[in-house]
Amino acid sequence: MDDTETGRLSRRRLLRTAGGTGLAGLVAGGAASVPLRNGRPVPLTAIGATAVLFHGARQAGITTRAQAVGHLVAFDLAAGADRRATAALLRRWSDAAAAMTAGRTPDDDDQIALDAGPCALTVTFGFGRTLFPKIDREPPAGLAPLPPFAADALDPRRGGGDLWIQIGADDAPVAFHALRTLQRRAAGTARIRWQMSGFNRARGATDRPRTARNLMGQIDGTRNPRPGDTGFDAAIFVGPDAPDTWMRGGSYAVVRRIRMLLDDWDRLPLDRQEKVIGRRKANGAPLSGGTETTAPDLVSVRPDGSPAIPADAHVRVAAPESNGGATMLRRSFSYHDGLRPDGTPDAGLLFVAWQADPTTGFVQVQRKLDGADHLTRFIRHESSAVFAVPPGAEPGDYVGRELLET
Amino acid sequence: MDDTETGRLSRRRLLRTAGGTGLAGLVAGGAASVPLRNGRPVPLTAIGATAVLFHGARQAGITTRAQAVGHLVAFDLAAGADRRATAALLRRWSDAAAAMTAGRTPDDDDQIALDAGPCALTVTFGFGRTLFPKIDREPPAGLAPLPPFAADALDPRRGGGDLWIQIGADDAPVAFHALRTLQRRAAGTARIRWQMSGFNRARGATDRPRTARNLMGQIDGTRNPRPGDTGFDAAIFVGPDAPDTWMRGGSYAVVRRIRMLLDDWDRLPLDRQEKVIGRRKANGAPLSGGTETTAPDLVSVRPDGSPAIPADAHVRVAAPESNGGATMLRRSFSYHDGLRPDGTPDAGLLFVAWQADPTTGFVQVQRKLDGADHLTRFIRHESSAVFAVPPGAEPGDYVGRELLET
């Protein structure tokens, strides 16, 4: 290496990480790398250096804090690709993901993120129902097709898919680099079926653990369960007695592209918006009183006898008390794809919900919401997919091996 | 205001700002606001609290450090909208921009960014050539149509426009909020003609002043002029003797959507990529030697007598030494709009170049590049627009008043 050349010096080191990030699985001593320019290390900032461990009992990107940028990408197997080819692809993908999430450069790198650091990159792999006949395996019960809902306006070309990758990072070029890298490694085995990109608040632009706002301006996610809550693991992750042994420790992702009818919403006066949701817009407090974190009082009535939280308010219909305690972990991204041909914004939520069983998670909640939730009039579910997300891989292994090799 | 309500307390205060950000025009004592939740101030982080002053002799967003997220939006006047209506629109836009860039909530706010802080938001307004007959004014000489270039593949529906807004912020919801707010204020007077969204490295993910990489993986912008360089102001801003008095202190923006043929590019071996550009990919050093900041030696030859920097290398053809010293300030965003119907990425550069005169700036450089630059084979100019960006407005005033009221 001459003095005009830049390389990456791989060595075992402790990545510097920012304090109080709420990140799960911070790298404590993985094989990371130091970007060099002109033979000298490039100093990484706390945002650049933050790494989320790829390897482990569970895949990253489920309980990890949602990053600033996300890509959801579904692939279909190429004609003739079988279980063996799929296994080789998951091996290539896992190896590349392990390198990139630790800040290392994969082989034949395009150098888009050469000196960026990992920026909290996570890569999460899932399997769709249509994959299973192609690999000569039975799909797990959790991949049963979702029932139709009255409010659906689904585009099948943007739903489903044999394979799924969820990419998240706190830096857009790092996320783009991961997407391109993984797409290149699929060449000949799988091709992209659909691809969606979204965002959250910038890393560092808000103090944790403030709940984010969605593009309707609503504080969204107040009642999201948190790791450590009673029953969290059992509700979100497939248990140790599940019949599909390869899914034990995994989870199911329900992915819905939910467009918001923002022009209609914006024409609604503030007090009517608040009745649709059942919360104050400014601070997220339920209309029954208190602050954002006060539990909605569903029996509270106003002086005139009407319920403080209307019968069709989103917060009432979606409440665990209203649907037998069904719990899912929502970890979504907002999206904004410009204008539609009719001049309205093509924007909304890339809804991603995690649960041990979609039947008792998303399906149960959505059955309650469907038709009864006033909010339904201001949103359109435009695409839908469900993926079985197997447990994580240990170093040297790859995601999905137990399904693909046994 | 009861205790479940959230408001914004406006008072004059010094916004906290992050050290060493390279931001131009940090608010030193503007009328800012403190977001509240449950009656208590929400603490803003350094990223959230960073504000760029809207008012001043020059508009923000030209020499301001490029933010993590950008939206470029062109509007056409509605039928019947005249100079008076345009003036009223620029007044509404300027008032909203002044409020949002200081972290205040405009009237009738949708609350998408209610408690976010300004996040280095800038809003920059420009006028296209087609505006002038509609407001009964002569366009300035700087708005002469660009000549055609051999490498153009322009879509006129995504080019041109009567009015232009450039939005930049370090947080995606803040940028989206600004876009929606300004679009709503245009209702009845102007409608969106085209809209493009892009990104740069996250604020805080890299140390300044490292040069960024584009989506080809190239370090891009090494020779970009900097404020304070000899001749910078004269090259970038319209001078005090310009015949169009309303443009004195303003600048011209040339906007080009430049798609990169990334699949073709990635198939090119590294050493051939480096000859196309004339620089080492890893560290940006010219092929004539040195480091990123070493001036390319255009006469240097290799032992076999061939030029160290090939005759058609981008860095040679674009060099100020090769084009009579033409200078422009490039302040671009990368973009990524998913996949094209042919399966290739719809990604590249939202190129924005600033100069006192496009004829001696962009046009002079592009004439040299056109056909001669090897890089041309890997890019497509898909849209084009030029905007006259008038000087800034002082507090109480609005951008463009001298053109629209005199």
pLDDT in tens, B215-244: 999 999 888 999 999 999 999 999 999 999
Residues 294-333 of A with CB under 8 A from B: none
Kindly state whether B334 is in contact with chain A, defined as any CB-CB distance less than 8 angstroms.
yes
- Report the candidate in A139, A140, A122 with the shortest Cα–Cα distance to residue A131: A139
Minimal CA separation from B238 to chain A, in Å: 33
Check if B292 contacts A (Cβ < 8 Å): yes
Contacts of A378 in chain B (CB under 8 A): none
pLDDT greater at residue B370 or residue B349: B349
Distance separating alpha carbons of residues B306 and B314, to the nearest angstrom: 17
Among residues of chain B, what percentage have pLDDT more than 90? Answer: 77
Residue that wins the pLDDT comparison between B172 and B108: B172
Whether residue A375 contacts residue A338, with contact meaning beta carbons closer than 8 Å, is answered with no
**A282 contact B CB<8A:** yes
Is pLDDT at B361 greater than 60 in this prediction?
yes
Query: Which of A184, A203, A285 lies nearest to residue B266, judging by beta carbons?
Result: A184
Sign of the Cα torsion A164, A167, A173, A174 reads: negative
Interface test with A, best of B200, B262, B283 (most A CBs within 10 A): B283
A1 in contact with B, Cβ within 8 Å = no
Based on the number of CB atoms within 10 Å of its own CB, is B136 exposed (0-12), middle (13-18) or buried (19 or more)?
exposed
- Look at residue A298 and tell me whether its pLDDT is greater than 70: yes
pLDDT surpassing 70 at residue B370 = yes
- Lowest-pLDDT range, A222-231, B24-33, B221-230? B24-33
Give the number of other Cβ atoms within 10 Å of residue B366's Cβ: 24
Other residues' Cβ atoms within 10 Å of the Cβ of residue B271:
10
The secondary element (H helix, E strand) that includes residue B41 is strand B40-41
Work out the percent of chain B whose per-residue pLDDT is above 70: 88
Judge whether B221 is closer than 8 Å to chain A, CB to CB.
no
**Per-residue confidence band for A204, with pLDDT thresholds at 50, 70 and 90:** confident
Across the range B376-391, mean pLDDT stands at 97
Average pLDDT, chain B: 88
Q: Report the residue of chain B nearest A184, measured CA to CA.
A: B263
Residue B354 has pLDDT above 80, yes or no: yes
Question: Biggest alpha carbon distance in chain B?
Answer: 81
B64 at the A interface (CB within 8 A)? no
Cβ–Cβ of A207/B334 closer than 8 Å?
no
Mutant choice from A336, A339, A342 vs B, greatest count of B C-beta within 10 A: A336
What is the structure's pLDDT at A5? 22
Instruction: Look at residue B163 in the predicted model and tell me its pLDDT.
Output: 98
Whether the ω angle into residue A341 lies within 30 degrees of 0, i.e. cis, is no
Note the pLDDT of residue A25.
Answer: 31
The CA distance from A308 to A290, in Å, is: 12
Mean pLDDT of the region A73-99: 98
Best of A4, A42, A222, A339 to disrupt the B interface (most B CBs within 10 Å) is A4
Q: How far is CA A336 from CA A67, A68, A262, A339, B343, in A?
A: 16, 14, 11, 9, 21
B31-37 sheet: strands from edge to edge: B8-12, B31-37, B40-41
For range A282-290, the mean pLDDT? 94
Can you list the alpha helix ranges (DSSP code H) found in A68-188?
A: 83-101, 131-134, 172-185
pLDDT of residue B29: 32
Asked if B82 is an active-site residue, the reply is no
Region A152-158: mean pLDDT is 95
Q: Is A190's pLDDT higher than 90?
A: yes
Residue pair B365/B326 in contact (Cβ under 8 Å)? The answer is yes
> Is A262 in contact with B180 (Cβ distance < 8 A)?
yes
pLDDT at position B39, please? 59
Enclosing H/E stretch for B92: helix B83-101
pLDDT at A44: 72
Asked which of A45-49, A114-118, A141-145, B359-363 is least confident by mean pLDDT, the reply is A45-49
Query: Which residues of A113-183 form beta strands (DSSP E)?
Result: 122-127, 163-169
Taking residues B180-184, report their average pLDDT: 96
Lowest mean pLDDT among A120-134, A169-183, A205-219, B17-31: B17-31
Rounded Cα–Cα distance for residues B27 and B64 (Å): 13
In this prediction, residues B109-122 reach a mean pLDDT of 91
Is A199 in the B-facing interface, judged by CB distances under 8 Å? yes
Give the model's pLDDT for residue B20: 31
Judged by a CB distance cut-off of 8 A, whether residue B338 touches chain A is yes
B185 touches chain A (CB under 8 A): no
Per-residue model confidence (pLDDT) at position A41? 63
pLDDT on residue A38: 54
- Nearest residue to B301 via CA among B317, B287, B321, B285: B287
Q: Please name which of B224, B241, B215, B204 lies closest in space to residue B45, comparing C-alpha atoms.
A: B204
pLDDT of residue A353: 98
CA distances from B311 to B275, B308, B327, B372 (A): 10, 9, 21, 9
Distance from the B38 Cα atom to the nearest Cα atom in chain A, whole angstroms: 7
Section B332-361 average pLDDT: 96
Residue B4, pLDDT score: 24
Model confidence over A264-277: pLDDT tens digits?
Answer: 999 999 999 999 99
The predicted pLDDT at position B11 comes to 26
pLDDT of residue A37: 54
Structure confidence at residue A13 (pLDDT): 25
Report for A6-10, A374-378, B26-30: range of highest mean pLDDT: A374-378
Give the chain A residue nearest B338 (alpha carbons).
A195
> Which chain B residues have a beta carbon less than 8 Å from that of A290?
4
In this prediction, residues B106-121 reach a mean pLDDT of 89
Q: In this complex, is the C-beta atom of B337 within 8 Å of any C-beta atom belonging to chain A?
A: yes
> Across residues A135-160, what is the average pLDDT?
95
Instruction: Tell me how far apart the alpha carbons of residues A168 and A61 are, in angstroms, rounded to a whole number.
Output: 7
pLDDT band at A127 (very low <50, low <70, confident <90, very high): very high
Residue in B37, B192, B338 nearest the CB of A197: B338
Band the pLDDT of B265: cuts 50, 70, 90.
Answer: very high
With contact defined as beta carbons under 8 Å apart, do B123 and B182 qualify? yes
| Cα torsion angle, B284, B288, B293, B298, sign | negative
Q: How far is CA A78 from CA A89, A189, A197, A384, B219, in A?
A: 12, 5, 23, 22, 35
Cis peptide bond upstream of B209, omega within 30: yes
Provide the H-helix boundaries in B186-253. Answer: 232-236
Give contacts of B192 with chain A, Cβ < 8 Å: 339, 343
Average pLDDT over residues B288-298: 93
Pick the range with the lowest mean pLDDT from A154-163, A196-205, A241-250, A271-280: A196-205
Of B114 and B6, the one with more pLDDT: B114
Using a CB–CB cutoff of 8 Å, tell me whether A278 touches chain B: no
Whole-angstrom Cα distance, residue A119 to residue A98? 14
Size of interface A-B (CB pairs under 8 A): 199
Q: Percentage of residues in chain A with pLDDT exceeding 70?
A: 88
Whose tokens are 């209309």? That residue is: A287
User: For residue A3, is pLDDT > 50?
Assistant: no
Each residue's pLDDT tens digit, A27-57: 333 334 455 555 566 667 778 889 999 999 9
Return the active site residues of A: 220
Contact yes or no for B213 and A112 at CB 8 A: yes
pLDDT at B56 over 90: yes
Is B298 in contact with B322 (CB distance < 8 Å)?
Answer: yes
Report d(CA A143, CA A362) in Å as an integer. Answer: 12
Task: Note the pLDDT of residue B41.
Answer: 64
**Which of A114, A262, A266 is the closest to B217 by Cβ?**
A114
Alpha carbon B302 to chain centroid, angstroms:
38
Judged by a CB distance cut-off of 8 A, whether residue B202 touches chain A is yes
* Residue in A4, A38, A43 nearest the CB of B207: A43
Among B213, B219, B335, the residue to mutate for chain A (most A Cβ within 10 A): B213
Q: Both tokens of residue B209?
A: 């002043």
* Interchain contact B281–A (C-beta under 8 A): yes
Q: Which of A6, A207, A216 sits opposite B283 (nearest CB)?
A: A6
The rounded distance, in Å, linking the Cα atoms of A112 and B212 is 10
Q: Please state, in angstroms and rounded to a whole number, the distance separating the CA atoms of residues A391 and A399.
A: 7
Q: Kindly determine whether residue B262 and residue A68, on different chains, have CB atoms separated by under 8 Å.
A: no
> Quick check: B170 contacting A, CB < 8 Å?
yes
Measured CA to CA, the distance from residue B51 to residue B30 in angstroms comes to 10
| Of the candidate ranges A217-226, A305-314, B383-392, the one whose mean pLDDT is the lowest | A217-226
Are B112 and A217 a contacting pair at CB < 8 A? Answer: yes
Q: Do A206 and B337 touch (CB under 8 A)?
A: no
Enumerate residues 94 to 153 of chain A having a beta carbon within 8 A of any beta carbon in chain B: 110-117, 119
List of chain A residues whose C-beta atoms are within 8 Å of the C-beta of residue B37: 282-283, 292
CB proximity B204 to A under 8 Å:
yes
Q: Is the pLDDT of residue B78 over 90?
A: yes
Confidence grade of residue A19 (pLDDT, cut at 50, 70, 90) = very low
Instruction: Tell me the chain A residues in contact with residue B277 when contact means C-beta distances shorter than 8 Å.
Output: none
List A350's β-bridge partners, or say none: A257, A333
pLDDT of residue A335: 98
Could you read off the pLDDT of A328-385 as tens digits, one per residue?
A: 999 999 999 999 999 999 999 999 999 999 999 999 999 999 889 999 999 999 999 9
Contacts of A69 in chain B (CB under 8 A): 199
Which pLDDT does position B319 carry in this prediction?
A: 84
Of B33-37, B107-111, B265-269, minimum mean pLDDT range: B33-37
SS3 content of chain B, % helix, strand, coil (to 5): 25, 25, 55
Interface test with B, best of A1, A6, A273, A291 (most B CBs within 10 A): A6
Tell me how far apart the alpha carbons of residues B327 and B329 are, in angstroms, rounded to a whole number: 7
The 3-state DSSP class for residue B27 equals coil
Whether pLDDT at B110 is above 60: yes
